[in-house]
Structure 1
Amino acid sequence: MTPSLTLHPDRLFPAERATRDIARSLYEQVKDLPIISPHGHVPPAWIADDIPFSDPMSLFLSPDHYINRILHGQGVDLADLGVPPGRDDVTPEQAREAWRIFCTHWYLFRGTPMKYWMESQLVDVFGIGVRPSAETADQIYDEVAAKLATPEFRPRALMDRFDIAFMATTDDPCDDLRFHQQLAGDSSFHRQVRPTFRPDRYLESGRPDWVANVDRLAEVSGVATDTFSGWIAAMENRRAYFKANGAVSADHSHPDLGTQPLSRVDAERLYKQARTGKIGVEEAASLRRTMLFEMARMASEDGLVMTLHPAVFRDHHTETFERFGPDVGGDLPIAVECVRALRPLLNAFGTNPNFRLVVFTMDETAYGRELGPLAAFYPSMYVGVPWWFIDAPDSIKRFRRAVTEYGTFYKTSGFIDDTRAFLSIPARHDMSRRLDCVHLADLVAEHRLEMDEASEVAHSLVSDIPRHVFNVPA
């Protein structure tokens, strides 16, 4: 008999009955609230042009580095999973075979959040009732493919079905934002899709393509970038363009959180050196930290929320990067220091009422030791929720325990799905809502919160807090 695929209504809830009943009650109050997604990687073209999803492989597998990483670790060639996403050379049979590979290895995902998200998508979105396996792969593929061919499964219809009220994309500073402009001018579209300013490549002067990048920045902004002062003016120009097109935040990811600025004289000297393509590793890091400080200064003036997510070793495996490019599963967590690194930035802007900073990390140990206490003191600072690698049930529960005692619920960001896998957005938000309700239920059961207080917090975590932190328009 083929094993069935079902979703238990009490998934992720405590085994102990009294606390489970409280968690159920809280969850019922928030489970159907609209989704606020202030940081993600869904291409805006999908929504603007309402591009249909072509097949289960390109929908579920090729863009999902979580899944790809697990399968690659078992010897599966990423090329056989359609990686990198967006390839135009994958035949229908190759797409089907990629899905067979995934279903044959379904057992590998036991105990992982990927299993939770995938089951939610298959059951809740597509009505699939059989468990993935080598035997059921073609059946599931055909059922999903048939539904993807219908109007109800195009991106805009799914945004309505999932009730995604707000979605932020991730965009290069030189992007013309035409898809965002297309959406803003479409009177038939009633959801909010906003750009996010993501300038990482323009701050990393040690990159081999950095000179070309800043030359492109000059071309697009109309501001010469042959000096550090020019680079600053060009960045200010593009931030203003993004803000005029609806952006609410600027997102930054670098190896560390260093924000110690150089003197203007030294910054100009290193910038000039970088323009020659000959800058040392430590000098490039010093220049990047100065640039990041300038980004904070700009944020304090233009009001774009500044999000930082350090502690990532990018493209750990050189051959994989050379074959497939970035963002295919080769990034890894590293440790990060926060208190000293952020001091220059927070001393300058931490009490500025126009500045808002959200710090994420994959270094779990920093939450209770550093980020929670920092956010508790500085009015401008918030702690980002568990994200990437630690956006898993036990990590999320540890996060709430670690941070709430130091910084309160109200100095956290609200849930961030951070995904390219469009159909996993509701599954990820549902997981977060369930786990936050579990934490609140524990506090009620321990007589540390009253039920009405827990109800109010549950609603705030889903709706009020992310709207406030990211200045999400009503």
Structure 2
Amino acid sequence: MKEGAVIPEDFLLYSKQAKVLYHDYAKDLPIIDYHNHLPPQEIAENKKFSSLTEIWLKGDHYKWRAMRALGVDENYITGSASDEEKFMAWAKVVPATVRNPLFHWTHMELKNPFGIQSFLNEQSASKIYNHANELLAQDNFSTQGLLTQFNVVMVGTTDDPCDDLKYHKQLQESSFAVKVKPSFRPDKSLLIGDVNAYRAYIQKLSAASGIQITDVESLIAALRNRVDYFEAHGASISDHGLQAIPTKLTLTDAQKQEYKKLLAGDVDTFSDTDAFAGYVLTELGKIYHEKGWVQQFHLGAIRNNNHGMMRKLGPDTGYDSIADFKQAESLSNFLGNLSLEDQLTKTILYNLNPADNDVFATMIGNFADGKTKGKMQFGSGWWFLDQKDGMEKQLNSLSNMGVLSTFVGMLTDSRSFLSYSRHEYFRRILCNLLGSEMENGQIPDDEKWIGQIVKDICYYNAKQYFNL
């Protein structure tokens, strides 16, 4: 491509209809980012970033994995190298990432918000780094400034039940126009395998809730207390990151006594961790239904595969991958159990293994209630599937097995304030998919008809679904 056209206006739009759908219907819609991992403290304090490395490379596991694969020393990834050295190391390998989505994301994020339309490489790195750093010092490149620039109207952070949510409260009392809502992520309360870590967490949860947790009943009471607290601070969404839904959903009286003994320190293992997780998750599902919340399930990752680097760097450092866990039967059992007494709330299912796309797309159809449009959602391409091929496969599975027009669309699921280019990426891919089918006669070549479906998927469905 010529200089100045790294990301052209019609990027990924290959028909006249696709261009019209994107530019006239999708491009300028607000963004509802209903699930991400942005730090609420940084939003509340309106943080400014010291360098492009801090906002762009710090914590970015996608880039870290690519740099390691290209032989970059860990010192320039998570080590003690300076911000500038780390950026230069990244810039040097970017040309070798062609066909990886990082190549697109990198240049889309440089274009918006920095206005940089040059390929990033070893030769252009210094100029790009200095220009971006100058912009980051400006007020409109603070955390709040960036959210405003990207036309974000709602941010759904991911928060532990023990969090006091003080930064959410601070934001709600401020003049900042973007809604920043907490989401309830209770995984640590139900994953009981590491007993010492679990007991320490239960002490924290007891303190946060004001309920001394000594048995299963008081655990559920404490979690309900925290759901109430989150609701009072604007929450209406929960999230769960699990390998798979537990296969068992109930506890025997003997297992409840065993749990009591475990908390008291009388035993150091639990006989059926799957049953415990399933029981707690089921009770939480009932509470979410009472509240009218949306529950989300991110399923299918196998984490911390590199044991040596886990020991050295800890979790969430780029050593996770797609797993091949069985999903269908446990999902059916869990959702079906909640449906017995009409206790199944709005639900979004995300899968990480593309082999499960059709499983998830058909599973949601089992639990539509004939009352709530799009009540059950097959979530957008997640993590390793958050790229062109992954998005198209998710959209096609949903279209073939369900109803695409009810889809609540894209989210960032990111810790980066620059990740909103993923919404642009998704919108372009969606419009190209529909535009090409308008062009070849597979769907009506009716701009207003299909344009409204595009607008609904990109914004209005989510606005209705999350009651915004």
SS at match of 2:385: coil
Alignment of 1:356-435 (within 5 A): 356-368=346-358, 370-379=359-368, 380-425=375-420, 427-435=421-429
| Residue 255 (structure 1) shift | 1.3
Amino acid at match of 2:46: D
Task: Check conservation: 2:303, 2:321, Cα contact below 8 A.
Answer: yes
Aligned counterpart, 1:239: 227
- TM-score scaled by structure 2? 0.92
Aligned counterpart, 1:87: none
| Cα 1:79–1:194 shift into 2, 3 Å | farther
Aligned counterpart, 1:116: 104
SS at match of 2:296: strand
Task: Check conservation: 1:248, 1:304, Cα contact below 8 A.
Answer: yes
Task: Check conservation: 1:383, 1:411, Cα contact below 8 A.
Answer: no
Aligned counterpart, 1:298: 287
| Cα 1:432–1:270 shift into 2, 3 Å | farther
Alignment of 1:32-43 (within 5 A): 32-43=28-39
Q: 2:435 aligns with which of 441, 446, 452?
A: 441
- TM-score scaled by structure 1? 0.91
Amino acid at match of 2:6: T
Q: 1:308 aligns with which of 287, 297, 303?
A: 297
Task: Check conservation: 2:5, 2:117, Cα contact below 8 A.
Answer: yes
Aligned counterpart, 2:326: 337
SS at match of 2:463: helix
CA distance in 1, matches of 2:68, 2:416: 18
| Cα 1:412–1:274 shift into 2, 3 Å | farther
Aligned counterpart, 1:144: 132
| Residue 209 (structure 1) shift | 0.7
CA distance in 1, matches of 2:255, 2:435: 52
Task: Check conservation: 1:117, 1:428, Cα contact below 8 A.
Answer: yes
SS at match of 2:242: coil
What do the CA deviations read for 1:150-193 (whole angstroms, capped 9, x no partner)?
1121111221111100111111110100100000001x211111
| Residue 79 (structure 1) shift | 4.2
Task: Check conservation: 1:168, 1:196, Cα contact below 8 A.
Answer: yes
Task: Check conservation: 2:52, 2:133, Cα contact below 8 A.
Answer: yes
| Cα 1:121–1:45 shift into 2, 3 Å | same
The answer to whether residue 182 in structure 2 is matched with residue 195 in structure 1 is: yes
CA distance in 1, matches of 2:299, 2:105: 25
| Residue 82 (structure 1) shift | 4.1
CA distance in 1, matches of 2:259, 2:350: 28
| Cα 1:316–1:274 shift into 2, 3 Å | farther
Amino acid at match of 1:37: D
| Cα 1:77–1:301 shift into 2, 3 Å | farther
The answer to whether residue 321 in structure 2 is matched with residue 325 in structure 1 is: no
| Cα 1:108–1:247 shift into 2, 3 Å | farther
SS at match of 1:271: helix
Aligned counterpart, 1:279: 269
Aligned counterpart, 2:251: 263
Task: Check conservation: 1:259, 1:293, Cα contact below 8 A.
Answer: no
| Residue 106 (structure 1) shift | 0.9
| Cα 1:381–1:260 shift into 2, 3 Å | farther
Amino acid at match of 1:399: Q
| Residue 259 (structure 1) shift | 5.0
Task: Check conservation: 2:168, 2:182, Cα contact below 8 A.
Answer: yes
